[in-house]
Amino acid sequence: MTDDEQNAPPDAAVGRLDVPTLQTLAQRAATHPLVVDWSFDPSSLSPRRLQLSLDAHAYPERVATARLDIRWFTSGDYSVHYLELGQDDGDGPQYHCRWDRHPKPTAPRTHFHPPPDAGTAEPSSLEPHHLEVLFTALDWIRERVEQSHGTT
């Protein structure tokens, strides 16, 4: 099992993947300056998540790739996982965090796993509106890039 699958909420607890909402998120994300491409993983015929590829030129050389993985469910639950991967990502992401909404016995339903390692969940005030969640995450990432890497 990959780290992404291990960290994602279980489908049984949150319902079916909401593919039309993921398609809307993909189209709207493409308007953000950091987003250079999007795709469904593993494919558009059988998506498990939406992957947004972020502009590699906005990051220092030590960050090989950065992306945002989104899973949105018909229940309104979601997982939005930001990852920065180094030149050798064999050990997993070098920096990541996650915004989630799903049942979790040890945290509020809507919560945030903070960077640098998507640690213990803490409360989040995000409402379960897909576009608000998307652009809140993308704006948070843009601020991180500006403050930590000095670029955008």
Assess contact for 111 and 120: CB atoms under 8 A.
Answer: no
CA-to-CA distance for 127 and 36, rounded, in angstroms?
26
Per DSSP, helices labelled H in 9-68 are 11-14, 19-29
CA-to-CA distance for 73 and 100, rounded, in angstroms?
11
Chain-centroid distance of CA 39 in Å reads 13
Cα-Cα-Cα-Cα torsion 36, 42, 48, 51, nearest 10 degrees, comes to -10
CA-to-CA distance for 151 and 60, rounded, in angstroms?
8
Taking only the tens place, the pLDDT of each residue in 67-107 is 999 999 999 999 999 999 987 756 667 899 999 999 999 99
Taking only the tens place, the pLDDT of each residue in 80-91 is 999 999 877 566
Residue 81 has a pLDDT of 97
Lowest pLDDT segment from 46-55, 80-89, 103-112, 137-146: 80-89
Q: What sign does the CA torsion over 53, 118, 123, 73 have?
A: positive
Residue 13 has a pLDDT of 62
